[in-house]
Amino acid sequence: MRFRAVWLSILLLGLTPTLRAQDRAACHVPLPSAERIEAVRAYIRQSWDVLTRSHRDLLAAVQDPKIEHEPGTPWPLYIAATEDSAAVWHRLQQELPDSVLQQIVLRVLPEDPVAHLDEIHPHGLLYLPEPYVVPGGRFNEMYGWDSYFIVVGLLRDGRIDLAKAMTDNHLYQVRHYGKVLNANRTYYLTRSQPPFLSAMVLAVYEHTQDRDWLAAAAPLIERYYAYWTTPPHLAGETGLSRYYDLGEGPAPEVVVGERDAQGRTHYDRVREYYRTHEVTAYDESLYYVAEADSLTPLFYKGDRSMRESGFDPSNRFGPFSVDIIHYAPVGLNALLYRMETDLARIHEILGDTAAAAAWRARAEARRERVDRYLWDPERGLYFDYNFRTGRRSDYVFATTFYPLWVGMASPEQAARVATNLYLLEAPGGLLTSTHISGSQWDAPYGWAPLYLIAVEGLRRYGYDEAADRLTAKFVSMIVEDFERTGVILEKYDVVQRRSDVALRYGYTSNEIGFGWTNAVFAELLAQMD
């Protein structure tokens, strides 16, 4: 039998779906004392330097626990064909001792690295010119959507130069690779991550007021926007966008980096699932050949595309979310609306009113399509849309708050979503979904970036009481777990209010650091103040 969706308010919380507003309010958790909070804040302020990678840390940055490396051989550092390799090597020679340089070999990528990815061996780190903050744990590189939240935290802690440096690195990636990469490793060249670039640029601009820098960033943001709004990232005939990795076959970092204690890869565990479970969420034959016990090329395309979404994995688009290639997701299209409105604002700042009006028109067109395809007026939630079947999903997921965060929901829509908060609210704050799948981006787990988006979305429409309640639950959970463990982690069981995880799919660890948890903790606290 397969894992079925469950309403956690029933199975986990012992509550009823008709929980009254006053009962939900009674679930309020008080903030910890200032002294206890300060202990966590001190850890966070120290962590920014621990997690920072610059040229002086290059030997640490090139090392990658997610892939195999032949002992005694130099670690490769790759640069774009459009970059000046001699200038890069000269810069490294000026900044690093020979003992370090002897352990690194500089290699130039093909002019079209995506088309020639199979020629890149071994995989390695992609050069970036500026310092950056890594998430932590096994993630020893600069990630796409993690970076937005990290930038928010850096700005909150007055680290403006480092926040700008990270944003400049993202603009550098667009300049040389046409997109913000999943992360700066060669095996990520085929995909991006949820697009937060325009939000990063404007967040930094608010602190620097550097119009020349903003003007230079604008065409790169527009180039990145084109990545998401041209084939193959179009979601059928909807006028909306989808996730779609440009690569083929198993993801290299998964084959090595997502093995369990028995040595089985994530893909081994997926095949076991297909052998032992009935799949009804999609046509299983598209992704698995039972006679050969093998995953199809389309499975790997879906698996890679699910990783571009950042939600890796969940069962949101069927088991392992491999059917994601047939969906227009709520989160992605809300973020593209944000990019459109951000570009309108940028052009207004730069004095180009005609361009600003054009971007506002694009945003309005997307809002209308989101209302048509993704908004469910009966349930009062936003759902992903399967353009292959012509039906909306019914999978309740925390991305339903994205339209509130970007301001595309009407007051009436926001009120409906806020009323349905109880479906995802738990003792530790916000569940990722209402479903238990054995994957980390499902119940009972909660993730910092979704907290920030949900809380800021609720505040945007005046639901401050709910926002404060979620913040207090999150902050108190982090403080209590920090007092047990001494660290801040990637994700939390928000039902048990602990960092303990019990995962069956994907990588099964909980990583220490952790960039976006650090940032969201600081930012949510500041907003309550």
Catalytic residues: 312, 490
Contacts of 237 (CB under 8 A, 6+ apart): 387
Residue 398 Cα to chain centre, angstroms: 13
CB-CB contact of 243 with 314 (8 Å): no
The label of the residue with tokens 């997926």 reads: 270
d(C-alpha 523, C-alpha 529), whole Å: 10
CA dihedral 273, 435, 445, 384 (to 10 degrees): 100
Residue 508, classified by CB atoms within 10 Å of its CB into exposed (0-12), middle (13-18) or buried (19+), is middle
Helix boundaries (H) for 277-352: 297-308, 330-349
3-state secondary structure of 121: coil
Token pair recorded at residue 461: 């429409």
Integer angstrom CA distances of residue 150 from 2, 310, 515: 37, 15, 6
d(C-alpha 102, C-alpha 506), whole Å: 35
Task: Produce one character per residue of 138-160: b if its CB has 16 or more CB atoms within 10 Å, e if not.
Answer: bbbbbbbbbbbbbbbbbbbbebe
d(C-alpha 399, C-alpha 441), whole Å: 11
